[in-house]
Amino acid sequence: MENLISMRDLDPKHILNLIDKAGKIEKKEIWPDMRGKVMASLFFEPSTRTQLSFDTAMKRLGGEVIQMSGTKGTSVEKGETLSDTVKIINQYSDIIVVRHPLEGAARYISEQVRIPVVNAGDGSNQHPSQSMLDLYSIFKTQGTLSGLTIALVGDLKYGRTVHSLVYALSSFAPKFYFISPELLSMPKYITEDLDKLNIRYEVLSNFEQVVPELDIMYVTRIQRERFADPQEYERVKNTYIIRAAQLKDVKSSFKILHPLPRVNEIHVDVDVLPSAYYFEQAGNGVYMRQSILSTLLGVE
Ligand code: CP
């Protein structure tokens, strides 16, 4: 592993190694020593969890962080190109974590620099470190990644976390339910890839009839910032508001995940259910990001 740009680049062995290492870090069996290492955290789009959990991950392992949050106050405002900006940051740091609104930006940056790059979200494309923490959360709660029945609910068109997660799970014989308004259905290039891999999936508009057979329900926010037409967003924004009363008949190991932030797609009355796992899921991000950073930097 030289970079973490897309879940399509990771094979099951990489995935299981990262999960195993995150588990050992969480249990304090290992402490990869990152003293002397510097992570550049470049966020050209808003973030709470991803940026702060990468920072926490690095600092708790003894490493240091430099950061750009947006372009205000930087030489990008004077016209410096992305290529020149990252070539300079290459001089100051050992690894780059980048979020950018343009699809393909992280891959492009990885071609401009000689240090590892982690894609922390590129437009609607991919968010692989989120998928890795999602897999870690699934593994911790289900004891396996294999043969699970997973509903993806919400914005399947613009949600980069669901795009990454589908590829992340596709090596582990999943059964997917894709549940969205028609306007926000899973992109065709992804369903075509699933067809080639003989992965089972069904497209639905409602989740209630499949709840009893689910291992995981993965809910996403309708991504308002990606809509070209604000009226389209208004039409679909409240399609799903999941309430505790709709989640009575579930498997004992059933969990609800959400990459967060939520708007109103999971009602707060769900938060107290034993199946609500989204806050712990965000906490798992620190261990998984420690695993990713230390692996890319060759620190064991
Ligand atoms: N899950 C996630 O990417 O959250 P942030 O946008 O807050 O980083």
Over the stretch 167-178, which tens digit does the pLDDT of each residue have? 999 999 999 999
pLDDT given for residue 207 in this prediction: 95
Known active-site residue 267: no
Give the amino acid at 232.
E
CB atoms within 10 A of CB 123: 17
Averaged pLDDT, 246-269: 96
Query: Is the minimum distance from the CB of 50 to ligand 1 under 6 angstroms?
Result: yes
Q: What is the pLDDT of residue 1?
A: 83
Catalytic position from the list 21, 99, 100, 255: 99
Q: Which of 15, 12, 30 is nearest to 133 (CA)?
A: 15
Mean pLDDT of 107-134: 97
- What one-letter code names the amino acid at 76? V
Q: Percent of the chain having pLDDT more than 70?
A: 100
DSSP 185: P
272 phi, psi to nearest 5 deg: -90, -5
| CATH topology identical between 7-126+285-296 and 128-282 | yes
The atom number, within ligand 1, closest to the CA of 50 reads 8
pTM greater than 0.85 (yes/no): yes
Rounded to an integer, what distance in angstroms lies between the CA atom of residue 2 and that of residue 227? 34
Query: CA–CA distance from 62 to each of 38, 85, 112, 159 (Å)?
Result: 10, 26, 27, 33
**Average pLDDT taken over every residue of the chain:** 96
- The residue contributing the CA closest to ligand 1 atom 6 is 47
- Closest C-alpha to 96, from 295, 300, 293: 293
Residue ranges of domains in the chain: 7-126+285-296, 128-282
pLDDT at 170: 95
Give the pLDDT confidence of 65-112 residue by residue, as tens digits.
Answer: 999 999 999 999 999 999 999 999 999 999 999 999 999 999 999 999
Domain 7-126+285-296, what architecture?
Answer: 3-Layer(aba) Sandwich (3.40)
Tell me the CA end-to-end span of the chain in Å, nearest whole number.
14
Q: Decide if 235 is catalytic.
A: no
What ligand 1 atom has the least distance to the C-alpha of 260? 1
The Cα 159–Cα 125 span in angstroms is 8
Q: Quick one: average pLDDT of 263-271? A: 96
For residue 136, what pLDDT band results from cuts at 50, 70 and 90? very high
259 alpha carbon to ligand 1 midpoint, in Å? 7
Ligand 1, residues 42, 45, 100, 260: which to mutate, most atoms within 8 A of Cβ? Answer: 260
CA pair distance 195, 190, nearest whole angstrom: 9
> Going by C-beta distance under 8 Å and a sequence separation of 6 or more, which residues neighbour residue 7?
126, 128, 131, 164, 165, 167, 168
pLDDT at 63: 98
| 217 backbone dihedrals φ, ψ, rounded to 5° | -115, 120
Class of domain 128-282: alpha beta
pLDDT at 144: 98
Which residue's structure tokens are 């990489």? 14
Q: Is the CB of 169 under 6 A from ligand 1?
A: no
Torsion of CA 232, 105, 290, 9, to 10 degrees: 100
Structure confidence by residue, pLDDT tens digits, 34-60 = 999 999 999 999 999 999 999 999 999
Rounded Cα–Cα distance for residues 24 and 129 (Å): 18
